[in-house]
Amino acid sequence: MNRDREPGDQSQLAQLSPVDRLLALMSMLRDAEHGCPWDLKQTFESLIPHTVEEVHEVIHAIESGDRDELRDELGDLLFQVVFYAQLSREEGGFDFQDIAAEITGKLLRRHPHVFPDGRLESFGQKQELSAGEVVGNWEAIKRAERAAKGKTHGNRNGANGEEDNSASVLDGLPRSLPALEKARKLQQRAAGVGFDWPSPPPVLDKVREEVGEFSAALAAEDSTAMRGELGDMLFAVVNLARHCRIDPESALRESNRRFEARFRLLEQLALDRGWMLPERELRELDELWDLAKNRVRGNQSGDSY
C-alpha cells in the first residue's frame, strides 16, 4: 500500500490485499475528521496494557488448542503492531513496511545456514548444521548485533557517570521482562560465552544449596536475608529448568492450572458434604485434596501436589 494514500481515497480499495486493507483501515480509524475518538486518543504508552493483554490471550488460545480462537487472537495482536506503525508514521517515523523490512533483514542475517549470502535468493544452498550449532551461531550473531548497536548509539553511562562504550553480553534485555523470563535470558546470555554449568546435576546441587541457605535465614527469622535467599533459590530453579530444556513460565502455568482444577474440585467435594472450608481442620482439607487430586490425575499430567 502506498504510504501516502489518504484515508478517504476510495480508489482500488476492493483490490487491496488483506494486509493492505488492514493498514488502510488503521489509517481511517486515526483520521482526524472521520476517525474513531478512542483510536485517536491512543499513544504508544496507552497501548502497552492492551498489547500485553493480547499476548496473553494468544498464549491462552494456543494452550487451549482452539485454532479458530488462535486465528482471532493473532489478528488482535497483529492489529497492535499495525497501530504502533500508524502512530510512528504520523510522527514521520517508520511504518509497517519498515517493520517488515527490519525483521526480514534480521532473520536473513541470523540464518546464514539457510541464506548463505544474506539474501532470499540464496535459499536452497543447504548447509549441514546441528540444532546446537544453529543456536550457537544465532547467539554469536546477536552478540555482534548488540555490539554494533552499542557502538552506534554510544553514550551509555558507566558507574562513575562517564561515557561507557564497552558492550556487555547482557545488554539489550528489556527492563519490563517478567522476572522468570529475564532470569532465563540472563543465564542464556552468560552461557553463550561459556559461563554455565556443564549439566543439570550440579545445577540441582545449587538449588539444594540455595534451599539450605533460605532455611537458615528462615530459622534466624531474618526477613531481609529470607528475601535475598528466596530470590537466589528461584534463580537457581530457573537455571535448572533451562538445563532441562523446560520453559519455567510454561511449567509454572501448568502447575497453576493443575492447582486450580484440583482446588475447584475440593470446593465442590466440600459443598457436597455440607462443609464450610474455613470451619474445617487442615487434616480434613488434606483428605479432600487427595480425593480431588486422584480424580483429576487421569486427564492432567504431573502430580506436583
User: What average pLDDT score do residues 136-145 get?
Assistant: 76
Alpha-carbon torsion angle 142, 108, 149, 89, nearest 10: -130
> Taking a C-beta distance cutoff of 8 angstroms, is the pair 292, 263 a contact?
yes
76 pLDDT exceeds 70?
A: yes
Q: At 36, is the pLDDT very low, low, confident or very high (cuts 50, 70, 90)?
A: very high
User: What average pLDDT score do residues 186-202 get?
Assistant: 93
According to the model, what pLDDT value does residue 139 have? 75
126 pLDDT exceeds 80?
A: no
Closest alpha carbon to 86 in 33, 32, 23: 23
User: What average pLDDT score do residues 169-178 get?
Assistant: 85
pLDDT per residue as tens digits for the range 42-53: 999 999 999 999
According to the model, what pLDDT value does residue 158 have? 46
Residue predicted with more confidence, 18 or 156? 18
299 pLDDT exceeds 60?
A: no
152-156, 188-192, 260-264: least confidently modelled range: 152-156
Query: What region does 161 belong to: left with phi over 0, alpha with psi -120 to 50, or beta?
Result: left
Residue 198 DSSP symbol: S
Q: At 37, is the pLDDT very low, low, confident or very high (cuts 50, 70, 90)?
A: very high
b (16+ CB within 10 A) / e for 99-113: eeeeeeeeebebbbe
What are the grid coordinates assigned to 176, written together?
519490563
73 pLDDT exceeds 90?
A: yes
According to the model, what pLDDT value does residue 270 have? 94
Residue predicted with more confidence, 95 or 4? 95
Q: Which amino acid is at 207?
A: V
Residue 164 DSSP symbol: E
Q: Which amino acid is at 101?
A: A
According to the model, what pLDDT value does residue 153 have? 57
Residue predicted with more confidence, 140 or 21? 21
Q: Which amino acid is at 3?
A: R
Closest alpha carbon to 284 in 293, 295, 275: 275
302 pLDDT exceeds 60?
A: no
